[in-house]
Amino acid sequence: MTCRGVHFALTAEEVEQLRSFEDDDERVEYLSEEIEEMYFDRHPEFVAESDKAWDAIHRALADGELTWEGGEYPLNHVILGGELLCSGDDYVMSLKTPEQVREIAAVLPAIGEEEFRQRYLAIDPDNYEQGLSDDDLQYTWDWFQDVRAFYLRAAQHGRYVLFTVDQ
C-alpha cells in the first residue's frame, strides 16, 4: 500500500450510501469504484490529495502525535478526526460533517507559514518516521496549502469531507 492521503468533498447522498454498507470491504469497494473514479475524472475541485504529507499535517495541527483524539478541535479534525467509517488494517476513512467542515475552514486561513513551521517543529522526531527536515517541512507545507484551499471550497458548497488513506 502507498499510504497516500486523499480528501473528497461529498454530497449527503454519497455519505448516506457510504454509511449504508455493513462492512469495511464494501465501503472501500464503493470508494474505489464509484467515488474515486467520479471525483478524479469529473469533479477534481472536490478532491485534495495530500500524498504522504497527511501524517505530518495531522501531527502539526493536532498535538504532534499520530492519534485519533490528540489536539484541539477543529484542527485535529482536518485529517483523522471525525466519524470513523473504516479503520481497518488496510484503509482509513474519516468523515467530517458540513458543520465541522465550516468550522475547520474558518480556522485554517489563519495558519500561515511561520505558525505551520512552529507546529511542524513541535513534532516529536522520535515518533515520526520521516524525520524532521527543511525538505519535509516544505513538502508538508505545500500539500497543506492544497488541503486548506480544498476545505474552503467544501465549506462554501456545504459538503461533507471524507479523508481516506490506504495503509
Residues 152-161: tens digit of each pLDDT: 999 999 999 9
Residue percentage of the chain with pLDDT more than 70: 99
Least confident segment among 24-28, 136-140, 141-145: 24-28
pLDDT at 97: 98
What average pLDDT does this structure show over 14-32? Answer: 95
What average pLDDT does this structure show over 31-40? Answer: 96
pLDDT at 84: 95
Round to whole Å and give the CA distance between 138 and 39.
Answer: 27
pLDDT at 123: 96
Round to whole Å and give the CA distance between 50 and 29.
Answer: 21
Q: What angle do CA 32, 138, 73 make, to 5 degrees?
A: 65
Residue 87 and residue 80 in contact, taking contact as beta carbons nearer than 8 Å? no
pLDDT at 90: 85
Residues 46-60: tens digit of each pLDDT: 999 999 999 999 999
Name the region of 101 (left: φ>0; alpha: ψ -120 to 50; beta: rest).
alpha
pLDDT at 19: 96
Round to whole Å and give the CA distance between 167 and 158.
Answer: 29
Calculate the average pLDDT of the chain: 95
Residue from 148, 47, 63, 69 nearest 101 by CA = 148
